[in-house]
Structure 1
Amino acid sequence: MSTSDVGREGVEGARPDREAMIGQGGHRPDGRDRDRPGGRRRRGGRGERAMVPDAEFGSYYGKPILNPPVWKAADIAGYFFLGGLAGAGSVLAAGAQWTGRPAAARALKVSSLAAISGSTAALIHDLGRPGRFYNMLRVMKPTSPMSMGSWLLAAYGPAAGAAAVLDVTGLFPRLGHAATAGAAALGPAVAAYTAVLAADTAVPAWHEGYREMPFVFTGSATIAAAGMALVAAPRRETGPMRTAAVCGAALELGAMELMQRRLGVIAEAYREGTAGRLVRAARVLTVAGAATGALLGGRNRTAAALGGAALLAASACTRFGAFHAGMRSAEDPKYTVVPQRERLRERAGEA
């Protein structure tokens, strides 16, 4: 009986000397037949080639346990990033308008319109043709993050577009204020719902991080919008945005750290390979951008722009890092099997 198993370090307990060999009986490691008198080697025996391949952990017919998502990084990770920038930008734009910062409000409204347009284009490109996005709007299913997200984009996009266009043209100011308020009301959901969408899949690095990932995405969206304000708005109007950058950085970094601690072995997907490099880069850029914006952004235009650019890059690295971590965790069966077995042991111990 095979005693090999899969664990944190991969396949464990493999016994090469117990492999089945060609011929009747098989050979011992010293070359003597087990089934012949005196253990003599069979003449002309061909018992050196293993009939059973080395143990690998998979499922039936060589299929992986999970089929990795077919999403493309440029489309879906870009969709995550741009949606977060748009949603948080609408919230900051409304705050800027209501506190007498018109230039900052206009810059954020325009950037939110551009970002949600790019986000929707990336989603449609991944779907393959525009008709598929329309087909998702034919049904409203509250239990489906994809269905509710499609309706959310359909409601938020026109509001963000009207807010930006009416602000730039100066037409219908009351309608423009209403559109700004509507976009701000929907903005937090737009910034965070992609985390719920990812966590609703079976991908271990996303599904098991369902508690913290919305906070990671919300913090990431906040620093992106604050960074855009630092880049595009006059520095005299960016005081609240600098504060938002610090708060968003604290939220993102804290939630990411808590998530990795709770994930156990799955956290390796966020620490190694492409995802690990992106997450580490995001951490450095977040701290540098928030510190530069908070300390120097109100005094120097160049420092404000550099801090804002760092925050935008940090947010993008977080979204792309989370995407690649999910793809890696889906491809390696260890991240599916080991947590399941650990939960079973915990339940058996409680019983």
Structure 2
Amino acid sequence: MSRAQGSNREQPSGAQGTSRAQPSRREHAMVEPAEFRSYYGRPIVKEPAWEQPDVPLYLFLGGTAGASASMAAMARLSGLPRLARAGTLVAAGGSLASVAALIHDLGRPERFLYMLRVFKPTSPLSVGSWILAPFSGLAAASAGSMLTGWLRPIGTLAGNAAGLLGPAMCTYTAVLLADTATPAWHEGRRELSVLFAGSAATSGAGAALLLVPTRETAPARRLGLAGAAAELSAEHRLEHNLGVVSETYRDGRAGTLLKAGKALTAVGAGLSLLGTRSRVASAAAGAAYLAAGVCTRFGVYAAGVASARDPKYTVVPQRERMAQTGSSGQ
């Protein structure tokens, strides 16, 4: 074999050399796209251990009570006795029912008392316990004084104090949920407080529209409209601004409940505008607002459960945060 032939064999042809040096653009990836899995497919974070319907009802009843107490305090100052009476009774009944739902979830009444042994400002659970307990006592004292006629000045003072705690009652449960590792709640921490405040406002307004004559419901109608705007805006952000986690608010049981809540809120707002003269329309608006509040609280809870069950909702946001941290460091 000559040197020329040997050199020809050692050096590939032009076409072959080009194909080795410059791979074809039509080549396909040899590795399948990554899947977000956990160890043996198990959830990464623990599913919320709270009972249903105890905790969603606790969220709904407490928010309704808080908004009603604040509305009753303002009604007393504005000279609207029937609106003040209805708000006081709803605040007392809602807060006591909320405590009962929480105690039922805890299993034993003394466990609720144990939560009051210390006050820890860095713990949303501790702060929430110290909001719920005095609010319930003040609301119950105000309602008892109003029904019996005893110690009315003290009852009025207690009702006004409960009204001051009302906004905290409406929103502290949102902070309590957002402080957990549950992806849907933690990622939506900026929106949940607004959502719960708006939903509590519509629920408190709904109770007033259902119980109070139309001539005194103007403040309740305005509160309901403001709450509906805040609620629908926050819910839209939850459904679209949380990346992959927003799926938990749009799909499945949570999506169904939240869609129903939005529809009922819109119906309640529309009927409240017609209820200025119609007692039937006003009562229907109140019922729609209250049903919307129940659907919203159960929907948010269901979204949290769904996000804890699928590892994707834990892994993807973590990787996105790591990528953002790396890019900002570079």
CA-atom RMSD in angstroms: 1.5
Question: Which of 131, 154, 179 in structure 1 is aligned with 2:110?
Answer: 131
Question: Which of 262, 269, 283 in structure 2 is aligned with 1:305?
Answer: 283
Q: Does 1:144 align with 2:120?
A: no
Contact 1:206 1:326 in 2 (8 A): yes
2-structure distance, mates of 1:119, 1:348: 45
SS at the partner of 1:298?
coil
Q: Does 1:186 align with 2:194?
A: no
- What's the CA shift string for 1:52-95, capped at 9, x where partnerless? xxxxx223x66421110111220110000000000011000111
- What's the CA shift string for 1:234-275, capped at 9, x where partnerless? 111000100110000001111111233321110000001110
Q: Does 1:325 align with 2:294?
A: no
| TM-score calculated relative to the size of structure 1 | 0.83
2:259 match: 280
1:249 match: 228
Question: Which structure would you say has the larger RCO, counting Cα contacts within 8 Å and 6 or more residues apart?
Answer: 2
Question: Which of 334, 337, 342 in structure 1 is aligned with 2:315?
Answer: 337
Which consecutive residues of structure 1, in runs of 5 or more, have no partner in the other structure?
13-56
What number of residue pairs does the alignment pair up? Answer: 300
2:17 match: none
Question: Which of 62, 65, 80 in structure 1 is aligned with 2:59?
Answer: 80
| TM-score calculated relative to the size of structure 2 | 0.88
Contact 1:230 1:304 in 2 (8 A): yes
* Structure with higher helix content: 2
2:268 match: 289
Contact 2:238 2:249 in 1 (8 A): no
- What's the CA shift string for 1:110-166, capped at 9, x where partnerless? 111111111111111111111111111112111111111111111111100111111
Question: CA offset at residue 5 of structure 1?
Answer: 6.1
1-structure distance, mates of 2:45, 2:96: 32
SS at the partner of 1:73?
coil
1:89 match: 68
Q: Does 1:58 align with 2:38?
A: yes
1:15 match: none
Which consecutive residues of structure 2, in runs of 5 or more, have no partner in the other structure?
1-29
2-structure distance, mates of 1:320, 1:244: 22
Q: Does 1:268 align with 2:254?
A: no
- What's the CA shift string for 1:308-341, capped at 9, x where partnerless? 0000001111111000000000010000001111
- What one-letter code is carried by the residue in structure 1 that aligns with 2:321? R
1-structure distance, mates of 2:129, 2:182: 21
